[in-house]
Amino acid sequence: MTTAHDPCAMCANFTVPTNGAPTGECSAWGEQKPWDGQIGVLFKEARDRAPRARYVASQIENKNETEKV
């Protein structure tokens, strides 16, 4: 059995892009990271989870639409 973890987008260090891009700036690592990247030791749970959850949902929807084509 595997345990589900929050993606990078749910970390306070991840800056959610305003243009809906699949990557955002990670202030902990100082580089672009994918929204669904594997969290690491620098993961810090974000307080603004609702807008991040909407962003994650939109990314999942975009991914699903792309896979259907």
Domain boundaries, the chain: 8-68
User: Could you tell me which residues come within 8 angstroms of residue 33 by beta carbon, excluding any fewer than 6 positions away?
Assistant: 8, 14, 23, 24, 25, 26
Q: Are 32 and 24 in contact (CB under 8 A)?
A: yes
pLDDT band with cut points at 50, 70 and 90 for residue 46? very high
Q: What's the predicted TM-score (pTM) here?
A: 0.84
pLDDT band with cut points at 50, 70 and 90 for residue 2? very low
Tokens describing residue 3: 């345990």
Average pLDDT, the chain: 90
Query: Which has more pLDDT, 3 or 19?
Result: 19
In a 10 Å sphere around its CB, with 0-12 CB exposed, 13-18 middle and 19+ buried, how is residue 34 labelled?
middle
Residues 38-45 have a mean pLDDT of 89
The secondary element (H helix, E strand) that includes residue 63 is helix 49-68
**1 has a pLDDT exceeding 60:** no
